[in-house]
Amino acid sequence: MTEFLTRAASAGGGSGPAGRAAIGLVFVGPPGAGKGTLAKTLQARAGMRHISPGDLLRQAVRDHTEYGRKALTYMRAGDLVPDEIVDAMIQAALAQAEGGSGWVLDGYPRTPAQAGLLDGFLASRGGTLNAVVYFEIGEDILLRRLTGRRLCPICGAIYHVDYRPPRSAGRCDLDGAELVARRDDAPDTALHRFRVYRAQTAPLIDHYRRRGLLLSVNAERPAEELYDMIWGSVRSRPATPLP
């Protein structure tokens, strides 16, 4: 393991600015489990780079890029966007994060094929995966979280009308922009996204458990508690060599 860490650091992708090995985390859990909220907190407090394919795709849609146009139909339906689009975006973002304190992949991989590609990419760049955090939560709670979720279209901050309301109703605390609901958070599409999650993403949980990487958290707990739990656990966790 030590040998692996040394190799990772000397390849340029595994050592953060403070000299400690960069931390690589994957967040797995159903839509609305709180992955984005926690990833943004890790970015703000621990300097981890938050990499979210959902955020990148929504930005591509707003920018009317080729990827954005291709992805839109899938996203509106609550289906997964084809791998060739998502894989390219994630690999570019991971390459950009090299040399920093680490990264959190929030919503990638979402299929066993994506997990295989991630392993191959990290191995080729000397990157490390320290833990896969699994957000465990009941579906009744998820639907309430999704239907009440509001986003800032400018900075991406995440709110909830009841659980995390902004200081001034409907306005982002950080930049005053008018908050928006995600179209795919409407109940019908959300229920479809849960089915997609169960069929395509949930098998990853056992895959990562077998590899000794899984850290399960009770995602029904308050976000502050989850942050302390996750950061307390991963900051000292050694990287596991790739298979």
Whole-angstrom Cα distance, residue 50 to residue 220?
A: 21
103 binds, among ligand AMP, ligand ADP, none (CB under 5 to 8 A by kind): none
Q: Does 109 sit behind a cis peptide bond, omega within 30 degrees of 0 on the bond before it? A: yes
CB 83 within 8 A of CB 5: no
Q: Measured between alpha carbons, how far is 89 from 236 in angstroms, rounded to an integer?
A: 29
From the list ligand ADP, ligand AMP, none, which binds 222 (C-beta under 5 to 8 Å, kind-based)? Answer: ligand ADP
Site membership for ligand AMP, residue 81 (CB under 6 A): yes
Residue with the shortest CB distance to ligand AMP: 54
Give the active site residue among 125, 182, 209, 211.
182
Catalytic, 182? Answer yes
149 catalytic residue (yes or no)? yes
Q: By CB under 6 A, is residue 54 in contact with ligand AMP?
A: yes
Least gap, CB of 66 to ligand AMP (angstroms): 16
Element (H, E) at 113: helix 112-125
Phi and psi at residue 159, to the nearest 5°: -125, 170
Query: From CA 121, how far away is CA 207, in angstroms rounded?
Result: 18
75 binds, among ligand ADP, ligand AMP, none (CB under 5 to 8 A by kind): ligand AMP
* Footprint of ligand AMP (CB under 6 A): 31, 53-54, 57, 74-75, 78-81, 86, 107-108, 110, 114, 184, 193
